Amino acid sequence: MATKTKRARRYPFEPDFAVPPGRTLLETIETQGIDQKELARRTGFTEKHISQIINGKAPISAEAAIRFEWVTGVPARIWNNLEAQYQEQKARLAAREQLQANLGWLKCVPVKELIKRGAIPDLRDPIELLTCVLQFFRVASVDAWRMGWQEPAAFAFRKSTAVAQQDGAIAAWLRLGELEAETRECGPYDEKRFRDVLKDIRALTTRDPKDFVPRMVELCAGAGVAVVFVPEIKGAPVSGAAKWITPKKAMICLNIRGKSNDRFWFTFFHEAGHVLKGGSREVFVDIDTMDDPEERAANEFAARLLIPSRHDAELPSLKSRVAVVRFARRIGIHPGIVVGRLQNDRVLPYSHLNDLKVRFQWVEE
C-alpha cells in the first residue's frame, strides 16, 4: 500500500537587513592587496569618501562604478547592480516598518474570504499578507486605500456614512468585480446600443438563470458594459455596483443578496441607470441605506423600465394571483417582479404572493 508524504510548505526568504555594496568593495580590494588609502589614490576620491562608500554612508555613483572597474577589474554594471539592490532592500525595510504599524487595518478587510476565493495567497507572515492585500487593491499604503475609499472627491464615490464600518468588506467585493470585469472582452461603450440592449434583457426576466445569464452578459458586452457576478461577502450590505473600468468600458457588478428575482432584476436595471447617467469617473454602489438624488433617479429608471408608467393606474387593482400573473404576461415580465413592485408600493403586504417570486442561489461550477 502506497503512502503519501506531506510536502512542507515553502516560504520565500526575506532578509531583515541590507548589505551595502561597500562591503563587497572592501573584500575585493583586500584580496588584491589594496587598502582604502591606496584605492582613494588610484580612483581620485578622498579617503573619507571611500570610507563612506565602504560603510554604506555614500552610494556608489555611476562614475564611481566605472573608476572601481578600472582599478579592480570588476565590471561597472556589477557595482551598479549591487548599489541598486542595496537601495531597494533599504526601501523595503523602511516600508516593512511602516506596514508593521498598519497591521491592525487587516481586521477591517475580509482576509480569510479573499484567501478562500483565491484572490490573495495564504501567507504566514502578517506583513507579507498585508502587502498582498494592498496589491489586491492596487494601492501602495493603507493611507492611500483610506483616501481612495473614504474620500468622495477621490473617486466620486457615493455611499452612506452609516456603512463606514463595512468599508473593507464592500471594497473587497467591489474589487473582485473589477478584476473580473477587467478581463472581460467588450466592445466600446455605445449608449444607444446599451439602451436597446436593456429592452431585450427585460424580456429575459421570464427565463431561467442558466439561459438569461450568458445572454445578458453577451448583450451588454456588445454595448461596452461588462456584467459580472460576485458572490456576497459577509458584512457588505451591497446588492450591486456600477463603475467605469475605462472611458470606453463600464462594469455592472451583481450578486444575489436577497435571493429573489424581483430584487435581482431591479438591481441590474438600477445599476444600468447609473451607467447611462453617470460620468466616466463615477462609482455607484447599491447599499441598503443609500438615499440621495442619484440613487432615487436610478430607482426611478429601473422601476419605469420594468413597469412603464402607462401601467401605473392598473397597479392598485392587482391584488390576486390571477390578476398579477395575467398582468405580468401581458407586459412581458416575470410575475415575481410585479409582486415586488406591488409590495414596495404598499398595494400588497410583504407576506403576500411571495411564491410567485423565484429564489436564486449560487451554483458551484
Return per-residue pLDDT of the chain as tens, 365 residues.
344 444 444 545 556 678 999 999 999 999 999 999 999 999 999 999 999 999 999 999 999 999 999 999 999 999 999 999 999 999 989 888 889 999 999 999 999 999 999 999 999 999 999 999 999 999 999 999 988 776 543 333 334 444 555 788 989 999 999 999 999 999 999 999 999 999 999 999 999 999 999 999 999 999 999 999 999 998 888 889 999 999 999 999 999 877 899 999 999 999 999 999 866 666 777 665 556 788 889 999 999 999 999 999 999 999 999 999 999 999 999 999 999 999 999 999 999 999 999 999 887 65
CA distance 49 to 44: 10
Give the pLDDT score at 157.
39
Give SS3 for 87.
helix
- Domain 21-100 is of which CATH architecture? Orthogonal Bundle (1.10)
Give the pLDDT score at 159.
45
Backbone angles phi and psi of 146, in degrees to 5: -65, -40
Total-model pTM: 0.80
Give the pLDDT score at 362.
83
Q: Residue 214, CB half-sphere, CA atoms under 13 Å: how many? A: 2
CA distance 148 to 158: 12
How far is residue 209 CA from its own chain's centroid? 25
Backbone angles phi and psi of 156, in degrees to 5: 50, 45
Q: Grid coordinates representing 313?
A: 393606474
Residue 190 region, left (φ>0) first, then alpha (ψ -120 to 50), else beta? beta
Give SS3 for 180.
helix
Give the pLDDT score at 285.
75
CA distance 234 to 173: 10
Q: CATH 1.10.260.40 region(s) of the chain?
A: 21-100
